[in-house]
């Protein structure tokens, strides 16, 4: 894992509340009362990175991304 | 030198601490009267020091954006200028684009409309200067499309400058129609790119990739007018009004229960109680001030009257400066009911793009309305409190965050009222006619 790790980032405009991410990565994603994902803050732990990748790949609207730590500024 | 330039009063700037600076009393200023009052437009950025010098001057002045976010104006300009350089005059060699934001979609605010009506040339001077400083060849002046006659008057002002031979970026006036979020900066970019005036998912931010894919500076029209004065008279002159923490003057819109509601120019840092006096004083006894408009927070009186009206002053008092809106709330009035009406309006203004905002704001508005007009329901209060973190910072733009902050401040400032609503039901004042101006929204009032 690169220093600083990776973070999950959601495009809330693209998200359509399919909830696949919460099924595949319950350790980091819960759903709000309307079915939209609430993502745990901070970097994805190394042991969950593979699961995070699958959640990202399975999002039907491509709303979820795994990114390097946000750039400064 | 043209006739217009020679009438300038370059040696006679406005006295440093004197207000108003931006909006002269009386009739709107045509070009000749404008140059008579302020002196000619300085030769920047072609002059000594070039564009970097103007940005440095704005930075020394400590000017912050007057559109609501209070972001340092010079940093924003430098980011756009830097993006142009990095990408080689912009990705498609068109240079940067400037958007002068006068769309003012906050219903309680009137300051941008007053500035554009009274001092159009000060804004156009600022556009010329800022466009030059960031390398923009074209500029859009975005205005509220619902303001009749404004576009026509601005086009006359633009034509006046062309006839007088004033150089500067080509300015196009764009009428923006849309709701509360239409004047958010990515929404303006979206609109000018041919889309609807609703916010975009960022990044890329407009300073990286905005109109036509070019680096785009979005500045409030009042911010640009201040730049026109800083370029003429310098940072020290600018700082002769305001405080070291919040230098300069600002236009504020004072409304609610005051005797002379309207737009005023103040030195930043004026105590809130003195601002109310400036607006004729309270029209009836007041219990609180809503500072920062519908994106702001409640200041309880009398303690809140000491708060400094400035971005840092109001932030530390638990409210915000926003676009400079301050509204007086009468004592014989229910703060919960007033806030509930505003939330109902805001919920109807969501662009409907992000789930937490689309569904969360109506849920918050329902819960608050239930507490305001029915009361006696502890569970509704708990539900409301649990909703706030589920909406805060979960949209693509900051619209839901502002609505949540307003509700949180109402629950804090009107905590005693809430307790009474919970134990005894709604107060009689809850059925008083509304004080805060809320445009009629489809769906009607609860």
Secondary structure of residue B369 in the 3-state scheme: helix
**pTM for this predicted structure:** 0.92
**pLDDT at residue B333 tops 70:** yes
Mean pLDDT within A66-71? 78
pLDDT per residue as tens digits for the range B193-243: 999 999 999 889 999 999 999 999 999 999 999 999 999 999 999 999 999
**pLDDT at residue B1 tops 60:** no
pLDDT per residue as tens digits for the range B374-405: 999 999 999 999 999 999 999 999 999 999 99
Q: Let me know if residue A2 belongs to a domain.
A: no
Show the CA angle centred on residue B25, arms to residues B24 and B30, nearest 5°: 55
Mean pLDDT, chain B, rounded, equals 91
pLDDT given at position B41: 87
d(CA B81, CA B95): 9
* Chain B touched by A15 (CB under 8 Å): yes
Are A34 and B200 a contacting pair at CB < 8 A? no
pLDDT per residue as tens digits for the range A19-34: 999 999 999 999 999 9
Higher pLDDT, B214 or B168: B214
pLDDT per residue as tens digits for the range B427-442: 999 888 998 888 865 4
Question: Residue A19: its chain B contacts at CB < 8 A?
Answer: none
Interface test with B, best of A16, A35, A36, A63 (most B CBs within 10 A): A36
Q: Let me know if residue A37 belongs to a domain.
A: yes
d(CA B338, CA B352): 24
Q: Let me know if residue A15 belongs to a domain.
A: yes
Tell me which residue of B161, B104, B163, B89 sits closest to B127, measured CA to CA: B161
Residues 43-72 of A with CB under 8 A from B: none
Tell me which residue of B124, B314, B127, B284 sits closest to B217, measured CA to CA: B127
Cβ-Cβ contacts under 8 Å for B299 (sequence gap 6 or more): B272, B288, B289, B290, B291, B305, B307, B314, B317, B318, B319, B413
Q: Which of B363, B390, B396 sits opposite A12 (nearest CB)?
A: B396
Are A13 and B354 a contacting pair at CB < 8 A? yes
Cβ-Cβ contacts under 8 Å for B117 (sequence gap 6 or more): B28, B150, B153
Are B353 and A12 a contacting pair at CB < 8 A? yes
pLDDT given at position B238: 97
Question: Residue A11: its chain B contacts at CB < 8 A?
Answer: 201, 396
Q: Which of B363, B390, B394 sits opposite A12 (nearest CB)?
A: B394
Question: Residue A32: its chain B contacts at CB < 8 A?
Answer: 355-356, 360, 390
Q: Residue ranges of the alpha helices (H) in B290-444?
A: 311-316, 335-349, 355-373, 378-391, 399-413, 415-424
| Number of domains present in the structure of chain A | 1
Closest chain A residue to B394 measured between Cα atoms? A12
Query: Can you give the CATH number for the domain in which A53 is found?
Result: 3.30.70.20
Mean pLDDT within A44-53? 96
pLDDT per residue as tens digits for the range B90-139: 445 578 999 999 999 888 999 999 999 999 999 999 999 999 999 998 99
Contact B228, B245 (CB under 8 A): no
pLDDT given at position B3: 33
pLDDT per residue as tens digits for the range B170-181: 899 999 988 899
Are A36 and B355 a contacting pair at CB < 8 A? yes
Strands (E), B136-280: 136-144, 170-176, 216-220, 249-256, 262-267, 270-271
**pLDDT at residue B6 tops 90:** no
d(CA A30, CA B426): 36
Q: Which of B353, B360, B390 sits opposite A13 (nearest CB)?
A: B353
Q: Let me know if residue A32 belongs to a domain.
A: yes
* B299 C-beta neighbours (distance < 10 Å), count: 25
pLDDT given at position B437: 83
Are A34 and B353 a contacting pair at CB < 8 A? no
pLDDT given at position B9: 43
- Alpha-carbon separation of residue B215 from B51, B90, B203, B403 (angstroms): 16, 6, 12, 30
d(CA B374, CA B336): 11
Confidence band, pLDDT 50/70/90 cuts, at residue B88: low
Cβ-Cβ contacts under 8 Å for B238 (sequence gap 6 or more): B61, B62, B63, B226, B229, B230, B247, B248
Q: Let me know if residue A72 belongs to a domain.
A: no
pLDDT given at position A70: 63
Show the CA angle centred on residue B183, arms to residues B181 and B188, nearest 5°: 105
Cβ-Cβ contacts under 8 Å for B20 (sequence gap 6 or more): B249, B265
d(CA B246, CA B357): 33
Q: Let me know if residue A18 belongs to a domain.
A: yes
Q: Let me know if residue A45 belongs to a domain.
A: yes
Burial B396-415 (b: 16+ CB within 10 A, else e): bbbbbbbbbbbbbbbbebbe
Higher pLDDT, B280 or B14: B280
**pLDDT at residue A5 tops 70:** yes
Q: Let me know if residue A3 belongs to a domain.
A: no
Which residues span the domain enclosing A34? 8-64
* Chain B touched by A17 (CB under 8 Å): yes
Are A13 and B360 a contacting pair at CB < 8 A? no
CA distance A58 to chain B (A): 19
Tell me which residue of B9, B434, B13, B408 sits closest to B229, measured CA to CA: B13
Percent of chain B at pLDDT exceeding 70: 93
DSSP string, B244-312: SSSBSEEEEEEEESBSS-EEEEEETTEEHHHHHHHTTSBSS-EEEEEESGGGSEEEETTGGGGSEESHH
């Amino acid at each position: 894992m690169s220093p600083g790790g990776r973070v999950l980032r959601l495009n809330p405009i693209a998200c359509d509340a399919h909830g696949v991410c919460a099924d595949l990565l319950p350790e980091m994603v819960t759903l709000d009362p309307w079915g939209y994902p609430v993502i745990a803050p901070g970097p994805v732990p190394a042991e969950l990175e593979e699961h995070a990748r699958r959640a990202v790949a399975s999002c039907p609207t491509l709303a979820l991304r795994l990114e390097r730590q946000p750039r400064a500024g | 030198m043209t006739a217009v330039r020679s009438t300038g009063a370059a040696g006679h700037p406005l006295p440093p601490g004197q207000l108003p600076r931006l909006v002269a009393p009386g009739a709107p200023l045509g070009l000749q009267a404008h140059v008579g009052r302020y002196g000619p437009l300085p030769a920047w950025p072609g002059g000594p020091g070039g564009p970097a010098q103007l940005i440095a001057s704005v930075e020394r002045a400590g000017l912050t954006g007057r559109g609501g976010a209070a972001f340092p104006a010079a940093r924003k300009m430098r980011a756009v200028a830097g993006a142009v350089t990095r990408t080689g005059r912009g990705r498609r060699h068109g240079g940067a684009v400037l958007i002068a934001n006068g769309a003012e979609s906050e219903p309680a605010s009137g300051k941008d409309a007053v500035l554009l009506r009274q001092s159009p040339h000060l804004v156009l001077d600022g556009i010329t200067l800022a466009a030059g400083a960031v390398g923009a060849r074209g500029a859009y002046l975005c205005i509220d499309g619902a303001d009749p006659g404004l576009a026509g008057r601005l086009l006359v002002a633009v034509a006046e400058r062309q006839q007088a031979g004033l150089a500067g970026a080509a300015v196009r006036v764009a009428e923006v129609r849309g709701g509360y979020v239409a004047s958010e900066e990515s929404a303006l970019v979206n609109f000018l790119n041919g889309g609807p005036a609703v916010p975009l998912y960022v990044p890329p931010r407009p300073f990286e990739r905005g109109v036509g894919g070019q680096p785009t500076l979005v500045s409030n029209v009042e911010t640009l007018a201040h730049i026109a004065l800083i370029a003429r008279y310098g940072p020290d002159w600018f700082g002769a009004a305001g405080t070291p923490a919040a230098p300069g003057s600002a236009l504020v819109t004072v409304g609610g229960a005051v005797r002379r509601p309207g737009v005023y120019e103040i030195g930043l840092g004026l105590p809130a109680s003195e601002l109310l006096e400036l607006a004729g004083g309270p029209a009836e006894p007041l219990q609180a001030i809503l500072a920062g408009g519908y994106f702001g927070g409640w200041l309880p009186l009398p303690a809140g009257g000491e708060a400094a009206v400035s971005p840092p002053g109001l932030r530390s008092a638990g409210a915000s400066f926003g676009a400079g809106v301050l509204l007086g709330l009468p004592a014989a009035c229910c703060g919960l009911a007033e806030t509930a009406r505003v939330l109902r309006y805001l919920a109807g203004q969501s662009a409907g793009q992000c789930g937490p905002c689309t569904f969360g704001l109506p849920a918050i508005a329902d819960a608050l309305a239930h507490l305001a007009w029915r009361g006696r329901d502890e569970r509704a209060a708990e539900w409301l409190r649990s909703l706030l973190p589920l909406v805060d910072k979960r949209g693509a733009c900051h619209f839901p965050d502002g609505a949540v902050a307003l509700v949180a401040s109402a629950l804090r400032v009107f905590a005693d009222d809430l307790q009474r609503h919970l134990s005894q039901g709604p107060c009689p004042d809850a059925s008083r006619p509304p004080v805060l101006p809320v445009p009629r929204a489809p769906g009607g009032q609860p």
